[in-house]
Structure 1
């Protein structure tokens, strides 16, 4: 229970819910919802359009209440441990100094200005209340302690934006309140000291505001650091309070952060290697992405006929992809999509939109694309050309009107009430089922807010719940998705069965946003440890300790997936879209066959060559096998196109050749070979730009890149891969130059590329250090010369 005193004037001005107030007139916050409701009453009465700086945040209100409650705890501890009669003695000193009548006037005016519930409601007069007692404590002493708390609060610069709630100016002007507090200061100063710094009580209560005068979170941190041993269970509530503040401070529309070089930590990855064994074809895989709807639209234009189904894709297109060097075809958006997603996007301004490829109704091949029969036709024809099909699997969430949301609402993270009182759900019912109502928050339609939940109503049972949208904590929630609850074992098994279903259709599976389901990030996002919250608004109050979380989520979900797929659908390549410096963990510990390596695109585009060379060196020194497991790309569907980032000249082809000759899995974007510049949204049904294939670019690809892709078996392994320092004539390392060799299948290769618009000359001689097996079969750090490498 968080509590603090609120004046009668503020209560009447903001019409606060009277159930929030305790018998002595303090406002009590039983949970964060009560805090948000209280805060909304204030903000709802202020002109925040003209004066946005007047907005009050729930985290700050909650902090004031918690600090006040902890101060009461300190008083209680002092009475228990030092002097049970301290307030009686203080009262006696005041009565002697000012007389009963004057002191009574202070208590009476305080009680009238900050009325208890019975006084505010008229059930008791002020005098009747002060003449009573609760649990053996006279109300005069309770009022005196509250006066002390009021004074301490008003002395705190950090609460100045909220002063109208508990302003003591009236008491100062109309009573001897100021003199009373001066007398109490002198009284407490000579009493026995208390606390970790051996202070008198009032000095101790003032110390957080003196240490951090303008920061409520800083004051909470001070209390945590200094008084942690005193406050006991309050420590967890304090950490949750800090999390609430962090939720509200979090900026979610920031641009991309700096690129980081991974430093591998064996303690985070576990000692044992858990690399999955590659089948013979996996290292040679070269993948190209195609946004299904957009590709069919482009093929319709190119072949002058309607091509709307997968079985209508011409053989000539498959022949062309194979000739270019691709043996993996990633079809984006083949599953049955959410009807609600399509409606939302059309209501928000794109009448041509289809649903997002990542807001799914179920995992059946979309009827729009020809259904199962059309898919089987394409799969067979692609395989005749040595092309394996790849598909997305979206494990984190489903569409808000998915079969699972309709029939298994308990499989999703939800709360029985709206977590923020300002949310409203009065828009279009997005449900395909007449018995169910699905409503996203109204402010999504005018783009003035981004709610973390949507509303689901069962019209038959009356059950109403607010289900969280999918969210990775880096930007706005995905408003057409529903977040799955991975603490539910039934959900984990249902998702694994779905993955097995996908694996029986597609030999390559790309797991969307896979890092969000790693244990440490799933907890951070949805059940944060006290003191670590702030990623997703309203989830701080759902926090769990690590021990509590481990009990309900004992082993990594992805480890379960890898083992089950290997057992039940072998010959499936599992590819994880994972960021947040988890790449090595996903392949080495969790056992994914491949993992996204976004550093390749970002660092080489930005010519952060020192960083990328260091990334390779770190990997070679820790475990070279990780390098083989990277998926390298120059764009992906969430990023700008390769043309936009790298152009069409030598810079582009230099990076493209690196991608084609480094260990790992090269992944090309939709339209990259053809030189298309448009970035296709996941809701696009067609291309909007009138672009023609750049035949010169295609020809240069065919001349420089395709021969390398067809020889991926020379480059894809890491057993004999070596990186070299390029030395200038002054024997200085030129970090802009990438030089590396490989030797596989009795074929040697040497690649040298200067990723800088500048001339250089020099030589290579010795390799960078890497782990190699020595003559005893044990790992050892070694460097080799160029001759040995070739």
Structure 2
């Protein structure tokens, strides 16, 4: 088996890959059909060179024939395919990666040996492998549906008659069972899934067994819609069908995480339950709140969100896009995208980048598709992200101390955000205008100032993305603050140096 997981630095970088689509792209590039075991080493080398700590191979598990048939038939999905992949064929619809038939590699993608080979290659490069875990539901044709229907939420005939879209029928006609489709309580059911019952002890044990199956082949898991199986949430969603079952003594997650030390646990979670999931042991939880405030172009909300405790923030998954969200290049536009990607790269927490984001791709691909349309590279975005990733790979952004800085008005000051990272002799300061209007303000230094007065006579600020530098005397800088004037969505990243004895002439 592969070596132990390589150590993960603080504030790691994670790259999400749509595995099926990626293999199609690589196959087209190499003019031969590739599986997981055939991925060229230079692909892993390139990700390492960009500074990624982890690779998330999204969607490697066996997909469902029934899910595929449903995905080919639903009108709203067919409309999405038309938008994302004009001229698509039925064969391009491979089914949802979140309606899992079995936790084994899909035969179209590869084998367990192939996954183990990838894990070894990533470990050789000091990187970790993340795979999917979908706790809430299985596909309709998972083997448990026939062999263990008791693992699932079940209704009675009357519930099925009232809401047939919420259930599907299994078993013999003289003894039918009405199994519920998986769902988020705020939306319609996922009709290609079967809802597991987490108030049933044997279901929990079976899902623990799934984790044991996955464990030797990865360093951690991204848990889909992880909050849905919290005891309180689950009871609120399914209480009417739980037949007065006793509440489990513990949360599934606390037991699962405690039993698998050393694994990296990432939770997709919403509804302000991020802190709760962190307390159960998740090292990282989705930061949808920041994403929503960025999409709303809400500077005050963004700054307010970043005032939360550092203990909480360092466990958040920051992102501008993923497979569920629209492409960031489209959502934000070039100016705001540039500014917000600086936040992604330099805020504390796990920094999630999505396949195609670094190239400026604009088409969001439905997860049911196994092929994407060709898009031209946005050379400006490629160059920009290359420089930004190189910068954020520096140790100061991983091992340093992060602090939000105070700002005092001048013009539109509430749209400005300033923070710093300090580590050993390194000091970086980031200032971002979060608005489409010019903004001006003073960065104030009190206890945040990392040098004592005896250590320096002057301060030098070097803009790391340009040749600009600024010089300040101690009194001006420390007592009056730093006056900054930024154009709409402008940002600056400074290397700050204390100069003993003043500047050379």
TM range (shorter): 0.7 to 0.9
CA drift of 1:452 comes to 0.7
**Residue 323, structure 1, aligned to residue 8, structure 2:** no
**Does the 8 A contact of 1:287 with 1:668 survive in 2?**
yes
Aligned to 2:318, the other structure's residue is in SS state strand
CA displacement 1:388-439 (0-9 Å, x = unmatched)? 211110001111110111211110001242514266xxxxxxxxxxxxxxxx
User: How many angstroms apart in 2 are the aligned matches of 1:485 and 1:279?
Assistant: 35
**Structure 2 Cα separation of the partners of residues 611 and 725 of structure 1:** 16
Q: Which digits, 9 at most, give the CA deviation of each residue in 1:29-74, with x for residues without a partner?
A: xxxxxxxxxxxxxxxxxxxxxxxxxxxxxxxxxxxxxxxxxxxxxx
Match of 2:383 in 1: 699
Q: Residue 369 of structure 1: SS of its match in structure 2?
A: coil
Alpha-carbon distance in structure 2 between the residues aligned to 1:564 and 1:380: 24
Superposed CA offset, 1:348-395 (max 9, x none): 465231121000111111111111122222222233333321111000
Select the structure that is richer in helix.
1
Relative to structure 1, the CA distance from residue 751 to residue 356 in structure 2 (aligned partners, 3 Å threshold; closer, same or farther) is: same
| Structure-to-structure mapping, 1:511-526, within 5 angstroms | 511-526=223-238
CA–CA distance in structure 1, aligned partners of residues 124 and 383 of structure 2: 25
Matches within 5 A, 1:188-267: none
Q: Which residue of 1 aligns with 2:271?
A: 580
2:251 aligns with 556
2:428 is the alignment partner of 1:744: no
Q: Deviations over 1:459-509 (max 9, x none)?
A: 7xx531010000011222111111111111111121122123223211121
- Aligned-residue Cα RMSD (Å) equals 2.7
Partner residue, 1:281: 8
Q: Secondary structure at the match of 2:182?
A: coil
Unaligned runs of 5+ in 1: 1-277, 424-440, 442-450, 528-538, 770-783
Deviation at 1:716, TM superposition (A): 3.8
1:54-69 equivalent positions in 2, closer than 5 A: none
Distance 2:116 2:386 in 1: 30
> Superposition pairs for residues 672-751 of structure 1, below 5 Å?
672-687=357-372, 689-703=373-387, 705-711=388-394, 713-716=395-398, 720-729=401-410, 734-751=413-430
Structure 1 residues 747, 317: CA separation in 2 closer, same or farther (over 3 Å shift)?
A: same
Question: Is 1:498 the equivalent of 2:210?
Answer: yes
Shift of 1:725: 2.6
Per residue, is there more strand in 1 or in 2?
A: 2
Measured in 2, the distance between the counterparts of 1:291 and 1:603 equals 26
How far apart, CA to CA, are the structure 2 residues paired with 1:343 and 1:293?
18
- The answer (yes or no) to whether the contact 1:628–1:716 under 8 Å persists in 2 is no
Runs of 4+ residues over 6 Å off in structure 1: 784-790
Residue in 2 that maps onto 1:652? 337
Report how far residue 749 of structure 1 moved: 1.9
Q: Distance in 2 between matches of 1:320 and 1:280?
A: 20
Name the structure 1 match of 2:191: 479
Of 551, 565, 574, the residue aligned with 2:260 is 565
Query: Which residues of structure 2 form unaligned runs of 5+?
Result: 79-89, 449-477, 483-495, 499-505
Whether the 8 Å contact between 1:290 and 1:331 is mirrored in structure 2 is: yes
Mapped to 2, the partners of 1:767 and 1:664 lie a distance apart of: 25
Counterpart for residue 297 of structure 1:
24
Cα separation, 2, equivalents of 1:669 and 1:585: 26
Aligned counterparts of 1:279 and 1:573: Cα–Cα separation in 2: 11
CA contact (8 A) 2:23 2:34 kept: yes
C-alpha separation in 2, matches of 1:596 and 1:479: 25
Which string of whole-angstrom CA distances, capped at 9 and with x for unpartnered residues, describes residues 230-270 of structure 1? xxxxxxxxxxxxxxxxxxxxxxxxxxxxxxxxxxxxxxxxx
DSSP-derived class of the 1:580 partner: coil
SS at match of 1:367: coil
Say whether residues 1:761 and 2:440 are aligned partners: yes
Decide whether the 8 Å contact of 2:11 with 2:314 is kept in 1: no
* Change in CA separation of 1:306 and 1:603 when aligned onto 2, cut-off 3 Å: same
Aligned partners of 1:714 and 1:744 also within 8 Å: yes
Work out which of the residue numbers 670, 673, 679 in structure 1 matches 2:355.
670
Q: Check the 8 A contact 2:153/2:197 in 1, yes or no.
A: yes
Equivalent residues of 2:6, 2:128 under 8 A apart: no
Residues 344 and 298 of structure 1: CA distance in aligned 2, closer, same or farther (over 3 Å): same
Structure 2 residue 302 is the aligned partner of structure 1 residue 612: yes
Q: Assess if the C-alpha contact under 8 Å between 2:286 and 2:318 holds in 1.
A: yes
Figure out how many residues of one structure are paired with residues of the other and give that number.
437
What TM-score, normalized by structure 2, do the two folds share?
0.81
Question: Shift of residue 595 of structure 1?
Answer: 0.2
Give a deviation string over 1:77-132, Cα, whole Å, max 9, x none: xxxxxxxxxxxxxxxxxxxxxxxxxxxxxxxxxxxxxxxxxxxxxxxxxxxxxxxx
Matching residue within 407, 410, 430 for 2:150: 410
Q: Which residue of 286, 292, 316 corresponds with 1:630? A: 316
The 8 Å contact of residues 726 and 733 in structure 1, kept in 2 or not, is answered as no
Change (3 A) 1:759 1:422: closer
Bigger Rg over Cα = 1
- 1:297 is displaced (CA, Å) by 1.6
Deviations 1:614-667 (A, max 9, x none): 1221x22xxx211100000001211101111123x3321211111111110000
Deviations 1:645-690 (A, max 9, x none): 123x332121111111111000011200011111121211101x33
CA change 1:628–1:284 in 2 (3 A) is: closer
**2:13–2:352 contact (8 Å) kept in structure 1:** yes
